[in-house]
DNA sequence: AGTGCAACCGGACTCCGGTCCGTTTATTCC
DNA sequence: GGAATAAACGGACCGGAGTCCGGTTGCACT
């Protein structure tokens, strides 16, 4: 059930540093991801089945589940690239997203950038949805929450920083579930209201 | 796929007033709901299968899906009772939740009451989760959003009321996905931070 | 090169949500 | 009461996610 051999990075803070992937496994991972991308591009996410992907790769279904743990895990892996570059952006990129700008400006930029990133891959993010128990127990989320907490603290925002960080993250996450027809009109407005709320808290 | 014959009420604003349920159908609806409640109490939601429920009721599986449309729909129906009483509370109950209190106080009470209601039935709410497309296209959500918009307007809160309402609802919805072990410690803090945010907006 | 072993692979199998359609039953109108 | 009709019923059936385990293969060590 647990995916194994994931590449390292802020997204997956490999604590117990596992032994590296075997070369055939790495090759299959790449093959699966690129093939999945191709199939999705052609027919959409809905119609991608694990059997289908396995067949298209000339691989057994067990291989997919060994690598990614679940259907959702596969899509998570597809999202990881942009997730990592987003993380790099707010951890060490140029201001106002990265260090150097005042904390409130960074927080505003963080929200806007997150919304922009999410908007570009909503079907993928929906398909990467985990069941309840794991949903919030994910490294990427912890990192984002810690970042927000830190900025709130730096800005001297009063109140319960962890709880506020949770609330703010909830706002950013929720756009994934906007009905498609509302997306184009609501996204910029939600970005603006994010800024509004953040500044009000300061 | 579509559930039919649902009882009327603010939760399901029956516009085209459908013909009433046939009596056998109503009996089966009741039987299914009470049996489902009993089975859940015994073994938890996870282990309730539609085949199992059908068998326990001495009913065909088709009957369940005709009534509730999907597994999620069944759990939605189980949640509807408390949902309706929550709606009654903020639409016409006593202040500060109902009419009569200042809008900001009502908004604070709304959030606290919603969180309390949700906390009492988190497993049910998780199981009632709809797939992406329908998630936000639900009468109960529209009603809640409209209510928040109205209160924001009454309070003279500046900013984009629909977008703010969306953001605020996102906060309330997100507690459902808190990992169980964080729930008891985080819930009251999230309630407080709700109040904090709402007052900051005013 | 040879060997031991852990990791990997494949695909048949299980389980469950959801559909379909022939049959049964409540209701309505004579 | 009896016939006509629409709704409800039941359970066989289907598709797809996830599991399992016997067989295979890369890798480290000698």
Verify that B76 and B44 share a domain, yes or no.
Answer: no
Verify that B101 and B191 share a domain, yes or no.
Answer: yes
Joined together, the tokens standing for residue B195 give 């109040």
A18 domain residue, yes or no: no
Verify that B37 and B119 share a domain, yes or no.
Answer: no
- Residue lying closest to nucleotide C19, CA to C1': B62
Structure-token match 């009603």, residue found: B143
Verify that A152 and A84 share a domain, yes or no.
Answer: yes
How do residues B29-82 score in pLDDT, each as one tens digit?
Answer: 999 999 999 999 999 999 999 999 999 999 999 999 999 999 999 999 999 999
Higher pLDDT, A162 or A27: A162
B196, B198, B199: best mutation site toward chain A, by most A Cβ within 10 Å?
Answer: B196
Query: Of the ranges A135-139, B18-22, B76-80, which is most confident?
Result: B76-80
Are the beta carbons of A179 and B126 separated by less than 8 Å? no
How do residues A3-21 score in pLDDT, each as one tens digit?
Answer: 554 443 334 444 444 567 7
Verify that A51 and A37 share a domain, yes or no.
Answer: yes
Angle between helices B71-92 and B139-154 (to 10 degrees): 30
Verify that A124 and A167 share a domain, yes or no.
Answer: yes
Chain centroid to CA A81: how far?
A: 9
How do residues A26-46 score in pLDDT, each as one tens digit?
Answer: 888 999 999 999 999 999 999
Verify that B99 and B154 share a domain, yes or no.
Answer: yes
Verify that B122 and B37 share a domain, yes or no.
Answer: no
> Closest nucleotide (CA of A62 to C1')?
C10
Chain centroid to CA A26: how far?
A: 22
DSSP 8-state code for residue B4: -
Candidate from A123-137, A141-155, A179-193, B12-26 with smallest mean pLDDT: B12-26
Output the pLDDT for position A11: 45
- Cα radius of gyration rounded to whole Å, chain B: 18
* Residue B22 Cβ < 7 Å to strand D: yes
Verify that A111 and A180 share a domain, yes or no.
Answer: yes
- As a whole number, mean pLDDT of residues A42-61 equals 93
- As a whole number, mean pLDDT of residues A69-92 equals 95
Indicate the pLDDT class of residue B3, thresholds 50, 70 and 90: low
- As a whole number, mean pLDDT of residues A149-165 equals 97
Q: Residue A164 is nearest to which of B160, B182, B193, comparing CB atoms? A: B193
B8 domain residue, yes or no: no
Verify that B110 and B176 share a domain, yes or no.
Answer: yes
- Residue lying closest to nucleotide C10, CA to C1': A60
B17 domain residue, yes or no: no
Instruction: Return the CATH number at B27.
Output: 1.10.10.60
Output the pLDDT for position B133: 84
Instruction: Return the CATH number at A159.
Output: 1.10.357
Joined together, the tokens standing for residue B157 give 């809160």
Last residue of a domain, one of A69, A84, A102: A69
How do residues B72-98 score in pLDDT, each as one tens digit?
Answer: 999 999 999 999 999 999 999 999 999
Output the pLDDT for position B4: 53
Q: Is the pLDDT of residue A148 over 60?
A: yes
Candidate from A42-56, B10-24, B46-60, B171-185 with smallest mean pLDDT: B10-24
Output the pLDDT for position B196: 98
- Give the H or E element holding residue B109: helix B103-119
Verify that A79 and A173 share a domain, yes or no.
Answer: yes
Domain that holds residue A36: 23-69
Indicate the pLDDT class of residue A62, thresholds 50, 70 and 90: very high
B16 domain residue, yes or no: no
- As a whole number, mean pLDDT of residues A130-142 equals 89
B52 domain residue, yes or no: yes
Q: Is the pLDDT of residue B5 over 60?
A: no
How do residues A94-110 score in pLDDT, each as one tens digit?
Answer: 999 999 999 999 999 99
Instruction: State the total domains in chain B.
Output: 2
User: What is the C-alpha end-to-end distance of chain B, expressed in Å?
Assistant: 43
Verify that A141 and A94 share a domain, yes or no.
Answer: yes
């Amino acid at each position: 059930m647990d995916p194994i051999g994931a590449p390292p990075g802020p997204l997956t803070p490999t604590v117990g540093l596992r032994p590296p992937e075997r070369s055939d496994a790495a090759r299959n991972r790449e093959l699966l991801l690129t093939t999945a991308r191709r199939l999705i591009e052609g027919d959409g996410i809905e119609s991608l089945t694990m059997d289908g992907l396995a067949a298209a790769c000339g691989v057994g279904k067990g291989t997919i589940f060994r690598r990614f743990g679940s259907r959702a895990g596969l899509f998570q892996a597809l999202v990881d690239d942009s997730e990592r570059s987003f993380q790099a952006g707010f951890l060490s990129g140029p201001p106002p997203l990265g260090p150097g700008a005042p904390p409130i400006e960074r927080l505003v930029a963080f929200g806007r950038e997150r919304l922009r990133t999410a908007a570009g891959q909503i079907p993928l993010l929906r398909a990467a949805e985990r069941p309840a128990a794991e949903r919030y127990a994910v490294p990427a989320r912890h990192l984002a929450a810690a970042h927000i907490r830190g900025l709130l603290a730096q800005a001297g925002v009063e109140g319960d920083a962890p709880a506020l960080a949770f609330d703010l993250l909830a706002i950013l996450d929720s756009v994934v579930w906007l009905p498609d027809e509302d997306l184009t009109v609501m996204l910029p407005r939600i970005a603006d209201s994010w800024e509004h709320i953040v500044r009000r808290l300061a």
